[in-house]
Structure 1
Amino acid sequence: MLRGLYTWTMQLADHPRAMWVLALIAFIESSVFPIPPDVIMIPMILARPNRAFAIAGVALVASVLGGLLGYAIGALAYEQIGQPILASMGKAEAMESFNTRFNDFGFWAVLTAGMTPFPYKVITIMSGWTGMPLGTFIATSILARGLRFFIVAALLWKYGAPIRDFIERRLGLMFILFVALLLGGFYVVRYL
């Protein structure tokens, strides 16, 4: 089953509309969707390494635009939309005390969440809710998401064939590692 899913993802990654799918996933992941764009970005780059940096660029632009939606949710509709999203992650009661400290570390929070498996949507919504300066939010989001997506793109572009072979030989292990990182990000959000 896992091998079939991998093959399907690789075929989807080489589809003519794959960039649009990546853009959509990167956009909604930054505000409401729990699955990171890496799920499709990495297979797309492995399928077409010569387009690695264009793929990273699409993910960057869509992610930052989606981050602006998350910021708007926090700034304009926190009570109606933002709070339920954060409450679903177990953070509703901690939000008030966190609000006062967030903007002191806002740059580092956005930078860290933008580059790690930590759910970026939490930081985008919090940035809007706490009133982080929009310019700081945008600049830090571009820096963080750019570093994340372009480092992945550069590594896959340079070492794509050996990495693809490694993934294909150890598909089960790679899937477990991916799920562990994803669950670890959710654990950090829920319990820290």
Structure 2
Amino acid sequence: MLRKLYTWTLALAARKAAAWWLAVIAFVESSFFLVPADVLFIPMVLARPKRAYLYATIATIASVLGGFMGWTIGHYAFEAIAKPVLTFYGKLDTFESLASAVDWKTMLLLLVTSGLAHLPPIKVVTILSGVANFNLGLFIVSAIVARGARFFALAWLINTFGEDMRHFIEKRLKLISALAAAALIGVYAVYMLKH
């Protein structure tokens, strides 16, 4: 199923309405969809490098709005909507273990790592933010910074290095994401030890 979803999402990049599809995928990825917007974003930037930063802007705005939807679902409709979605994707256990150990600093760290590197999955963190009643203003600012950094960095890398960078990213995306998340967690651990 995941492979079919990936292939379908990738095929959207060739359509005339690709920018609209990018907005839709980035929006739903942040609240309930399984395939990351990168699958559509990367081929679009490769096909039209002059629009790289426009696509990054579209993806960032849509992703932040989708994150707000995830926060709203977690805050107002966890039992009715979020719990079945998390159960469907097999993420309910991850969610419950995170929910039991979260404070505002941890929540902020999770928002940054999921926004930059999808660790843990962003849909889990946006819903968790709502359940934990995480400050909405701080949520939106962190989402703009983290998601914007991800999409604009990808736009710059692909626009600068082209196909070679696409192959590098596709082959090592999980490793790059894990290293970025580990670095952020390391910075957070050092901060906590000093305070």
Normalising by the residue count of structure 2, what TM-score does the alignment of the two structures yield? 0.76
Q: Measure, in 2, the Cα distance between the counterparts of 1:54 and 1:94.
A: 33
Are residue 131 (structure 1) and residue 133 (structure 2) matched? yes
Contact 1:83 1:92 survives alignment (8 Å): no
Quickly say closer, same or farther: Cα 1:71–1:18, change in 2 above 3 A: same
Q: Measure, in 2, the Cα distance between the counterparts of 1:25 and 1:97.
A: 25
Unaligned runs of 5+ in 2: 179-195
1:118-145 deviation per Cα after TM superposition (whole angstroms, max 9, x unaligned): 3110000000000000001000000000
Q: Following superposition of structure 1 onto structure 2, how do residues 82-121 of structure 1 map, counting pairs within 5 Å?
A: 82-88=82-88, 89-92=90-93, 95=96, 98-99=99-100, 101-118=102-119, 119-121=121-123
Q: Following superposition of structure 1 onto structure 2, how do residues 165-180 of structure 1 map, counting pairs within 5 Å?
A: 167=167, 174=170
1:78-109 deviation per Cα after TM superposition (whole angstroms, max 9, x unaligned): 01111222234243486277345242311111
Contact 1:24 1:62 survives alignment (8 Å): yes
Match in the other structure for 2:45: 45
Structure 1 counterpart SS, 2:105: coil
Match in the other structure for 1:188: none
Contact 1:14 1:48 survives alignment (8 Å): no
Quickly say closer, same or farther: Cα 1:117–1:154, change in 2 above 3 A: same
Quickly say closer, same or farther: Cα 1:99–1:14, change in 2 above 3 A: same
Measured on the aligned residues, the alpha-carbon RMSD in Å equals 3.0
Q: AA paired with 1:156?
A: I
Quickly say closer, same or farther: Cα 1:29–1:61, change in 2 above 3 A: same
Q: Measure, in 2, the Cα distance between the counterparts of 1:96 and 1:161.
A: 39
**Share of identical aligned residues, percent?**
39
Are residue 159 (structure 1) and residue 171 (structure 2) matched? no
Q: AA paired with 1:115?
A: L
Quickly say closer, same or farther: Cα 1:122–1:158, change in 2 above 3 A: same
Q: Measure, in 2, the Cα distance between the counterparts of 1:40 and 1:85.
A: 23
Q: Measure, in 1, the Cα distance between the counterparts of 2:135 and 2:37.
A: 26
Unaligned runs of 5+ in 1: 186-192
Contact 1:46 1:156 survives alignment (8 Å): yes
Q: Measure, in 2, the Cα distance between the counterparts of 1:160 and 1:92.
A: 39
Normalising by the residue count of structure 1, what TM-score does the alignment of the two structures yield? 0.77
